[in-house]
Amino acid sequence: MQVTVRQGDSLWYYSQLFKLTLRLLLDSNRQINPNQLYSGQTLQIPGFVTTSYTIVSGDSLWSIAQSRNLSVDAIQLVNPNVNPTTLQVGQQIVIPIRVTWRVVNGKQAYDFETMQVDIQQLSTIYPFIIQSSIGDSVMGKPITELRIGNGSKRVHMNSSFHANEWITTPIMMQFLNDFLLALTNNGSMEGVDLEQIYQNVLLSSVPMVNPDGVNLVLHGPPQQEPYRSNVIEMNNGDLDFSNWKANIRGVDLNNQFPAKWEIERQRKAQEPGPRDFAGPAPLSEPEAAAMANLTRQRDFSRVNAFHTQGRVIYWGFENQQPPQAEAIVNEYANVSGYQPVRTVDSYAGYKDWFIQEYNRPGYTIELGKGTNPLPLSQYNQIYRAARGIMLANLYL
């Protein structure tokens, strides 16, 4: 929501009026010098939208404000040209409303386009989000990173490395939505002080690493050539792509990282296909290269890659994980009920590479249980476990 600054107003005043922290206001208005507000300037108020209202007989701004738990001043701010003493029946004004509902509806076939619409809506309501593209997929779709928070501790989470594990994307988007709601409402989530976390932590998330693959699983082969013909050939002529894990070029993006990549390349699929082909070289695919570049740039203290399925949390790699990694995974297990697994016969994954390169905690969290793609009937159960882990990632 936007308001027009009045002569003599300060950010502190708007913070009190809308019951928001100064930090959220500052981060929603990064282009503004908070010490030099001037009359007529546009100010973004996070966590609010406006709705139209038609004046009826007996209305006053005071009665309207009282019925909506608002101040008269808040209503006047979004109606700068309305004279409160001359309201007329039938006159249209706008009313500020604090957002208390989710934008994200995760219980649906959640493709790239749905995610983009949700990201745009969230960014409009919560302008303190920093949205950026870290690169493009093979077919040119932007791979979006969302950043929330101001702290020096930088933690990261991602989802949908594998196409048929697309349910991890709406799970992550719903958590981000709930985090934003809590920040702009009561300031806490399950007893955790999110205002303090916002000050101390920067949360980076990439909700859909493999957008081409996700759309392939959900909608079938694209119309664009040569991608259409190539994926149909790799899928042996079958137009059912529900089991497809790879990107649109038939490369498994979580077998792409230079952490004993040669082992996976030798023992897994030897040519492009629905799953397990490690590619012609490490980081040959733009999606994997974008994730590696992001990780190098951000200097994360911890990374979390969300996959399906198994209800397990993989947390080691070649005994190179730091000592604190075990305490973190034990808390993840405590809040989710999932089983920690330190050693597994697998290489070249994103968390493997992160542990190897940085000697910092990295985790692959396998949400839910069953056959991929997991059904939406599991969504609520999966979200409860994932929410606990994602929240613990912030407070640990």
Residue 225 annotated in active site: no
Return left, alpha or beta for 350; rule: phi > 0 is left, psi -120 to 50 is alpha, else beta: alpha
What backbone torsions phi and psi does residue 74 show, to the nearest 5 degrees?
-65, -40
Dihedral angle of Cα 10, 16, 17, 20, to the nearest 10 degrees: 100
Residue whose tokens read 């738990």: 69
Dist CA 144 CA 56 (whole Å) = 46
Of 34, 68, 42, 33, which is closest to residue 53 (Cα–Cα)? 68
Q: Within 10 A of 263 (CB to CB), how many other CB atoms are there? A: 15
Catalytic residue among 145, 165, 264, 366: 366
Dist CA 375 CA 330 (whole Å) = 28
- Calculate ∠ Cα 281-286-290, nearest 5°: 110
Dist CA 315 CA 259 (whole Å) = 15
Positive or negative, the Cα torsion across 185, 191, 195, 198?
negative
- Calculate ∠ Cα 291-319-158, nearest 5°: 25
Dist CA 365 CA 308 (whole Å) = 8
Catalytic residue among 110, 198, 338, 347: 347
Give 145's Cβ-side CA count (13 Å radius). 21
Task: Give the chain's count of helices (H) and strands (E).
Answer: 14, 14
Residue 165 annotated in active site: no
CA distances from 195 to 43, 75, 201, 205 (A): 21, 26, 10, 19
Position 59: which residue type?
Answer: D
**What angle do helix axes 379-395 and 168-184 make, rounded to 10 degrees?**
60
User: Element (H or E) spanning 96, and its range?
Assistant: strand 92-98
CA distances from 121 to 36, 116, 170, 177, 208 (A): 29, 9, 15, 10, 17
The residues assigned a catalytic role are 347, 366
